[in-house]
Amino acid sequence: MIFLKKSALCIVMCFCVLSVGYDFASGKTYHSADYNPSDYNISISELLRVIQFYNVGAFHCSPNKEGGYDIGTGDPNCSFHDSDYNPQDWKITLNELLRLTQLYNAGLYHVDASKEDGFDSGAGPGTPEPEGIEICGDEIDQDGDGRDNLFSIDPEKSLVFKIGVRQQDVARLCVPYSFDIKMVKKDGKEIQLSDNVVFDKKEGKFSWTPTSDQAGEYEFVFLVKEACGYDEVEITAYIVVKGTSSKQIAEVSASPAFINPAAGEKTTISYTLDKPSAVTIELYKASVAISGWGDGIFRRELQMTLLNNQSRPAGENSEIWDGKGADGKILEPSAYVYVIKAANSDKTYTYDPEYVSGLADISKFTVSPLKFNPYANQSLELKYSLLQPAWMIIGGNGMPGFAVAGKPRDKGENIEKWDGRAEIWDENGNTGKTLIVTGTLNLAAKAEILPENAIVIKEQDSALITNVSTEAYIIVPSYGEISTVKYTLSENSLVSISISDPNGNNWTLAENETQSKGEHSAEWRGVNADGKLVWPLTNGIPEGDYTVEIKAESKESGATAVKRANIHVYR
């Protein structure tokens, strides 16, 4: 059993350590002489006042229209230039001023060992303080591995970020660092920087609006200048332009998505390759295990390889699947997902879309009749409509399980026949046991969307077998009571009948018997495979609900059907 992995298309940041107490411009450990306000021709009180104005957003124009951190009441909309409180007067860049602001806010301004005021680290020259150089921008952890700063972008959408220190460490904005581009790779190969990649090297700003032709996995290596106490620091970013799969393996679909292999139905998996490739297609059985009414646990298990490393040309291709496994037998009704791998001279590309759970709309939900007897093999008809294909869950208050538990259903109208037996799930999301539900129920429904690459083998509800019943439907074998299984065949068929007890033990009443069109019956005298009486008082066999399963395969059309009924055994 394997769990679905999410597509690992992301950006990974390389972190470094900033040495608080380092002069970015000079490369020296700073103290009273290096970052002392006297170097900027401004007093310490004035600098603290500037920091205060900055923190409260009081930068504006002075009455004489000069921009700066003045407490005057001038026009707040003019551009700043030289003024009494303009950084240009202190021969300090705006970035350095913001850095001083950061140090002050972090409580790192104090008197150093020489008793001189300054922004010293306080623990000796060059003592590092933890700080991170990051990318500040939209962040998506796309592959679910818990890392931050993971980026992906759709074609024709803009990706904009700055390289600097974390925003929460500064008063309002991401303090940027200047940088350059050392190297760019696409899909593992070094390329020239695209013309539509724009960056401001001084302000650390990167922006890119890729086209659909630029879909792929990119590796950008930035050289960050004068940061972390070093002349240059490398930060590698993996930027994924979505559509990598649709570039190499495009226009993927399966039609029809719901098939009945027993009726000869097949599905066609279509895809387009941009290069001749060796193609492998794998099919996984998919399920969603239900735990209460919360999100289901999506699981898949490799079922078969439909195509194994077969050469296919560039352009449109298609493969046909008849719903059968490697042994030539029809696989059990379920949802299956397909994965396409295409290997060429460049690399191996994979179409394996991430499954993201979500709810599908349910409408026109009705139940009839409102009363029924599950012991007598009577059933309810649950009718509803879905806006899109989904795993269907139907349950109710007071029910120990579900009437319909994670069954794949197509969009449009659906009809469920429920025999009053709830499917029980354990704490690990596994099923298998059923329990008869009695009393008054309020039914509720939920639908989880199917994966986009799903193919569903439909459950058999063929008219080949009809009018199934068990008479009597409640027996006490110790009293010599028997039950007769009755059914009608619409065509001459090969028929097998089996019975299973509540613990999953089963035995055969008939196996591959040729039976003609019409009514048929088979008796069960309350004995198991060993011929022993099913009687808990003598041999420990459990009482409860026993399931009768009738399988038929038409000798004329080849159609198959499976129908079930129940016999309740008491002591």
d(CA 54, CA 28): 27
Which of 422, 451, 480 is at the close of a domain?
451
**Which residues, including other chains, have CB under 8 Å from residue 195's CB and lie 6 or more apart?**
none
Identify whether residues 279 and 303 lie together within a single domain: yes
d(CA 504, CA 453): 33
Whether a cis peptide bond, with omega within 30° of 0, leads into 313 is: no
* CA-angle at 545, arms to 471 and 420, nearest 5°: 85
Per-residue pLDDT at 480: 84
Whether a cis peptide bond, with omega within 30° of 0, leads into 256 is: yes
Residue type (1 letter), 276:
P
Residue 75 forms part of a structural domain? no
Per-residue pLDDT at 214: 79
CB distance 355 to 298 below 8 Å: yes
Full residue range of the structural domain in which residue 162 is found: 133-242
Identify whether residues 165 and 216 lie together within a single domain: yes
* CA-angle at 487, arms to 481 and 492, nearest 5°: 135
d(CA 468, CA 563): 7
pLDDT in tens, the chain (571 residues): 232 222 222 222 222 222 223 333 333 333 333 344 444 445 555 555 555 555 554 444 445 544 444 444 444 444 443 334 444 444 455 555 655 555 555 544 444 444 444 444 433 333 333 345 556 554 443 443 444 445 777 777 777 776 654 434 333 334 456 677 888 888 778 888 888 888 776 666 778 888 777 777 788 887 776 554 445 677 777 777 776 444 588 889 999 999 999 888 999 999 999 889 999 999 999 988 765 555 567 888 999 999 999 999 999 999 999 999 999 888 989 999 999 999 988 778 889 888 877 888 899 999 888 888 877 777 888 999 999 999 998 887 767 778 888 899 999 999 988 888 777 665 555 555 566 677 777 888 888 899 999 999 998 666 788 888 888 888 888 888 889 999 999 999 999 999 988 777 888 889 999 999 999 999 998 888 777 777 554 555 567 788 899 999 888 877 788 888 888 888 6
Among residues 205, 245, 207, 239, which one has the least CA distance to residue 221? 239
Q: CA-CA-CA-CA torsion for 22, 26, 32, 35, nearest 10 degrees? A: -80
Which of 392, 422, 451 is at the close of a domain?
451
Query: For residue 280, what is the domain's CATH number?
Result: 2.60.40.4070
**Which residues, including other chains, have CB under 8 Å from residue 172's CB and lie 6 or more apart?**
none
> What own/partner pairs with CB < 8 Å and gap ≥ 24 does 290-295 have?
290/393, 290/402, 290/405, 290/406, 290/425, 290/429, 291/425, 291/427, 291/429, 293/393, 293/395, 293/444, 293/446, 295/357, 295/448
Residue 392 forms part of a structural domain? yes
**Which residues, including other chains, have CB under 8 Å from residue 294's CB and lie 6 or more apart?**
none
Whether a cis peptide bond, with omega within 30° of 0, leads into 58 is: no
Per-residue pLDDT at 2: 30
Helix (H) or strand (E) holding 102: helix 94-105
Which of 351, 370, 402 is at the close of a domain?
351
Residue 101 forms part of a structural domain? no
Residue 409 forms part of a structural domain? yes
In a 13 Å sphere around the CA of 45, the CA atoms on its Cβ side amount to 0
Identify whether residues 181 and 233 lie together within a single domain: yes
Residue for token pair 């097998």: 496
Identify whether residues 506 and 525 lie together within a single domain: yes
CB distance 496 to 551 below 8 Å: yes
Residue 480 forms part of a structural domain? yes
Tokens encoding 25: 């411009």
Identify whether residues 268 and 183 lie together within a single domain: no
3-state secondary structure 410-435: CCEEEEEEECCEEEEECCCCCEEEEE
Identify whether residues 257 and 237 lie together within a single domain: no
Among residues 300, 333, 321, 6, which one has the least CA distance to residue 145? 6
Identify whether residues 489 and 563 lie together within a single domain: yes
Identify whether residues 238 and 249 lie together within a single domain: no
Identify whether residues 237 and 138 lie together within a single domain: yes
Residue 153 forms part of a structural domain? yes
Identify whether residues 256 and 335 lie together within a single domain: yes
CB distance 143 to 354 below 8 Å: no
Identify whether residues 262 and 312 lie together within a single domain: yes
Query: For residue 168, what is the domain's CATH number?
Result: 2.60.40.10
d(CA 208, CA 546): 65
Number of domains within the chain: 4
Tokens encoding 24: 């970015």
d(CA 126, CA 119): 12
Instruction: Report DSSP state, residue 29.
Output: B
Residue 7 forms part of a structural domain? no
Helix (H) or strand (E) holding 339: strand 334-343
Q: CA-CA-CA-CA torsion for 397, 399, 400, 404, nearest 10 degrees? A: -110
Among residues 520, 516, 508, 511, which one has the least CA distance to residue 484? 520
Residue 538 forms part of a structural domain? yes
**Which residues, including other chains, have CB under 8 Å from residue 118's CB and lie 6 or more apart?**
30, 31, 32, 33, 34, 35, 36, 109, 111, 112
Identify whether residues 175 and 199 lie together within a single domain: yes
Per-residue pLDDT at 118: 46
